[in-house]
């Protein structure tokens, strides 16, 4: 194992959305993650098979039926040796299974018990069903995203599941591990996607309070309202992204477009934004995306081509930095962020249920006799 979290042992109770992504982030940074897979996949949506399950990379696995007391005893034995737990059940489910924070911390007072849910462990909505779109809806984030005078646009499930959920849980686990060096004690992390999405909106709440952000879609500087911060179609039906916020970048852009600034509407007068957008839209439709990239390259205008998932790995910048990697024939994002001394690494593809479990248990200090007992009690281990 390599990476800044090398030596950290994590038990992950298999789930969907933010739990697996948090596990991927920790595994990429060197954490030794043992995933507890359910013997039935009925409640896990439509998981991808390895090696396509990128979010499941870097793990080893054992399979358990958590409805059996013998399986819970095995999980407890694992938690005795673990630094952290990732749990993404609805509030109350872990308690009903016998895996409550109190029970787990009584066994291992140094355990970091990481919980991630949509609404949090308490509050009126805590027990309600939901998905990313619902969690970001009550944070104000969804309302702010989309064109003016049209319905809000779901920003994939980046803001709730992954930004507001998985990354905040990973950050919380890292913080708790640091604090444990001083206190010697573990603690419980309540990571709610609705909380995290609200936190991600901090800048916009600040600007609204200061009177510098209108509570409408598509009318502000960086929500698609301003013509100098947006996406334009090119002659070949592709797109260019422009972010010329500052005056010098806007001036450079106008020069590169061979426009006479004196004939254009004032760039920061929002009443004239539709007219300025129309001028820019007409100009960008005169060349292909590749031609605009050639025209704008090397000039400080804040531009980039809008690339598809198929195109992005081949971009020269992404290739130079190794932003994407290939493992088992699958192109996927490489570990991020970068570390100068202890770089992250993808050491294995996602496991099938039970795959690598025997080696993981041996690495965690379990004797062959104990592993045999686990198998006898219904654990799938290979």
**CA-CA distance, 287 to 66, in Å (whole number)?**
59
Whole-number percent of the chain with pLDDT over 70: 98
Our CA angle for 271, 277, 283, nearest 5°, is: 150
CB 117 within 8 A of CB 196: no
pLDDT of residue 177: 98
Tokens representing residue 87 in the block: 């749990």
Q: Is 249 helix (H, G, I), strand (E, B) or coil?
A: helix
b or e along 96-107 (b: 16 or more beta carbons within 10 Å of the residue's beta carbon)? ebebebeebbee
> How would CATH label the architecture of 229-233+239-305?
2-Layer Sandwich (3.30)
Residue span(s) of the chain under CATH 3.30.1540.10 come to: 229-233+239-305
CB 75 within 8 A of CB 374: no
| Residue in this structure with the two tokens 């496991």, named with its chain if needed | 351
C-alpha 306: how far from chain center: 20
pLDDT tens readout for residues 217-232: 999 999 999 999 999 9
pLDDT tens readout for residues 148-193: 999 999 999 999 999 999 999 999 999 999 999 999 999 999 999 9
**Helical residues (DSSP H) of 80-189, grouped into ranges:** 93-97, 101-107, 132-137, 167-183
CB 193 within 8 A of CB 134: no
CB atoms near residue 256 (< 10 Å):
18
CB atoms near residue 150 (< 10 Å):
9
Query: Which residues participate in catalysis according to the annotation?
Result: 131, 161
**CA-CA distance, 211 to 33, in Å (whole number)?**
46
**CA-CA distance, 342 to 5, in Å (whole number)?**
9
pLDDT tens readout for residues 254-297: 999 999 999 999 999 999 999 999 999 999 999 999 999 999 99
What does residue 68 show for φ and ψ, rounded to 5 degrees?
A: -100, 140
**CA-CA distance, 79 to 5, in Å (whole number)?**
18
Domain 9-200+324-376 belongs to what topology? Answer: Rossmann fold (3.40.50)
**CA-CA distance, 130 to 132, in Å (whole number)?**
7
pLDDT of residue 45: 59
- pLDDT of 43 higher than 80: no
**CA-CA distance, 152 to 217, in Å (whole number)?**
8
Q: For the chain, state the CA radius of gyration.
A: 25
CB 118 within 8 A of CB 130: yes
Provide the pLDDT confidence category of residue 205 given band limits of 50, 70 and 90: very high
pTM summary value: 0.96
Residue span(s) of the chain under CATH 3.40.50.10540 come to: 9-200+324-376
Smallest CA-to-CA distance from 17 within 196, 200, 204 is with 196
Cβ within 8 Å of residue 316, ≥6 positions away: none
CB 76 within 8 A of CB 94: no
- The single-letter DSSP state of residue 340 is S
Provide the pLDDT confidence category of residue 2 given band limits of 50, 70 and 90: confident
């Amino acid at each position: 194992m390599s990476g800044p979290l090398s030596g950290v042992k994590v038990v992950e109770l298999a789930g969907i959305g933010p739990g697996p992504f948090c596990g991927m982030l920790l595994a990429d940074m060197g954490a030794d993650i043992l995933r507890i897979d359910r013997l039935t996949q009925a409640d896990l949506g439509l998981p991808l098979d390895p090696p396509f399950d990128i979010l499941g990379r870097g793990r080893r696995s054992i399979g358990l039926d958590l409805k059996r007391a013998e399986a819970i005893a095995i999980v407890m034995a694992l938690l005795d040796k673990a630094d952290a737990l990732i749990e993404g059940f609805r509030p109350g489910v872990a308690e009903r299974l016998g895996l409550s924070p109190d029970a787990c911390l009584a066994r291992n007072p140094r355990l970091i018990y990481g919980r991630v849910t949509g609404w949090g462990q308490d509050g009126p909505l805590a027990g309600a069903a939901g998905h990313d779109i619902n969690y970001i809806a009550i944070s104000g984030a969804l309302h702010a995203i989309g064109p003016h005078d049209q319905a809000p646009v779901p920003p994939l499930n980046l803001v709730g599941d992954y930004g507001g959920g998985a990354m905040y849980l990973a950050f919380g686990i890292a913080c708790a591990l640091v604090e444990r060096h001083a206190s010697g004690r573990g603690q419980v992390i309540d990571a709610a996607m609705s909380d995290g999405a609200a936190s991600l909106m901090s800048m916009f709440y600040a600007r609204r309070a200061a009177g510098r952000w209108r509570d409408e879609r598509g009318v502000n500087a960086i929500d698609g309202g301003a013509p100098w911060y947006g996406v334009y179609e090119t002659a070949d039906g592709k797109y260019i992204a422009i972010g010329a916020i500052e005056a010098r970048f806007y001036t450079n852009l106008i020069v590169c477009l061979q426009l006479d600034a004196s004939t254009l509407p004032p760039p920061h007068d929002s009443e004239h934004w539709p007219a300025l957008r129309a001028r820019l839209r007409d100009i960008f439709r005169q060349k292909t995306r590749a031609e605009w990239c050639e025209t704008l390259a090397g000039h400080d205008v804040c531009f980039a081509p809008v690339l598809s998932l198929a195109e992005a790995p081949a971009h020269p910048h992404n290739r130079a930095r190794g932003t994407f990697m290939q493992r088992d024939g699958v192109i996927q994002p490489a570990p991020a962020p970068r570390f100068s001394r202890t770089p992250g690494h993808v050491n294995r593809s996602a496991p099938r249920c039970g795959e690598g479990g025997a080696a993981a248990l041996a690495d965690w200090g379990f004797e062959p006799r104990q592993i045999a007992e686990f198998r006898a009690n219904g654990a799938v281990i290979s």
